[in-house]
Amino acid sequence: MTGKNSGPQPKDSIMTISAYVGGEHKAPSANRVIKLSSNEGPFGPSPKASAAFAALADKLHIYPDGGAHQVREAIAETQNLPIEQIVCSAGSDELIALLVLAYAGPGDEILHTEHGFLMYAISAKAVGATPVSVPETNRTADVDALLAAVTPATRMVFIANPNNPTGTYLPASEVRRLHAGLPSDVMLVLDGAYAEYMTADDYEDGVALVREAENVVMIRTFSKIHGLGGIRLGWAFAPLAIADVLNRVRGPFNVNVAAQAAGAAAIRDVDFIAKSVAHNTEWRQWTTDQLRALGIRVDDSFGNFVLADFGDHDPEPLRLALKEEGILIRQVGGYGLPHCMRITIGTAEDMRETVDAIKRHLPVIIPQADTRVMGG
């Protein structure tokens, strides 16, 4: 036998992919876990969504509606959108993969920002396309840099707005300037996974652009504001021609029956959504202020998390110290931010305990004399 695998071989581009690694969810040495590593909602799902899910316990043998009409109708109703332009999926990750599968391949280029969501590059490599990472300015997407990176091979541009893990965003005027500068055959994908948390007046989620253009798609998720990450549910609002393509390439039953029912209930529960937004706005600012008071750089965030920048100091010993106490936060070295940690906004108690623990353990990585100037 030789050392070479003689069995089936994947496409060369597949083996260049570093598998996506999600946030940690276990702390073996702790009695309880405060999980602030995956940007999950602090209140769990809406009670109405949980009830809709539970009501299907004895119907799990029945195939779901292949058109996901129940949840698409709820989205159309609450968002004032035409149902025929809505496509649902098993999480917005699936939509990213399907769009890339349908519109790109070997020899094509897919643009994303320097610190953008890792699934953009992974999906590009999966079909043999070339992901192109475009530098940001102050950890924010740079429209001029994006437009300068467009070549005849460019097929798609992905923008997470607000972005994960930086929390920064592009105002509507910049998104429109980006779109205006793109060739008409290049697709602009606006990933609004965190759109519900936005508090800035100059923001647009992408709906208006999709209505106006033939080459813009907005994708959304139920994993964040709706607290339904465990059931995998996402949706796209797309021009009719692109919606038709997505329906041709998606699986015939890609949204399970429980996800359809829970999602429909969740998006109609406006009181729960409002409660979640208000809590996030308050405790995101509180956490930002507390960390800045320790000398830690924290950019203004518009997601349900903050990005803590420890400057020249390696934050890994701090993360491990927090983990020993059952507090899980997220490394973001894979996003090109090795000296940062992303911290999800949890309950009020979660955030108080986390900030207290950071205060206690900060000297592990930073001499006390440095905390006053770090990140300045």
Bridge partners (DSSP) of residue 298 are: 308
Tens of pLDDT along 222-261? 999 999 999 999 999 999 999 999 999 999 999 999 999 9
Q: What order of strands is seen across the sheet that includes strand 234-237?
A: 86-89, 234-237, 216-221, 187-191, 154-160, 109-113, 130-134
Q: Is the pLDDT of residue 369 over 60?
A: no
**pLDDT confidence bin for 55, thresholds 50/70/90:** very high
Question: Other CB atoms closer than 10 Å to residue 282's CB: what's the count?
Answer: 13
**Dihedral pair phi/psi, residue 22, rounded to 5°:** -80, 180
Tens of pLDDT along 111-121? 999 999 999 99
Sketch out the chain's domains with CATH numbers.
12-44+271-370 (3.90.1150.10), 58-269 (3.40.640.10)
**Are the C-beta atoms of 45 and 267 separated by less than 8 Å?**
no
Q: Is the pLDDT of residue 375 over 80?
A: no
**pLDDT confidence bin for 29, thresholds 50/70/90:** low
**Are the C-beta atoms of 338 and 295 separated by less than 8 Å?**
no
**pLDDT confidence bin for 27, thresholds 50/70/90:** low
pLDDT for the residue 21: 74
Tens of pLDDT along 304-337? 999 999 999 999 999 999 999 999 999 999 999 9
pLDDT for the residue 376: 41
**Among candidate residues 80, 56, 93, 41, the one with its CA nearest the CA of residue 265:** 56
Q: Is the pLDDT of residue 80 over 50?
A: yes
Question: Other CB atoms closer than 10 Å to residue 84's CB: what's the count?
Answer: 12
Tens of pLDDT along 91-113? 999 999 999 999 999 999 999 99
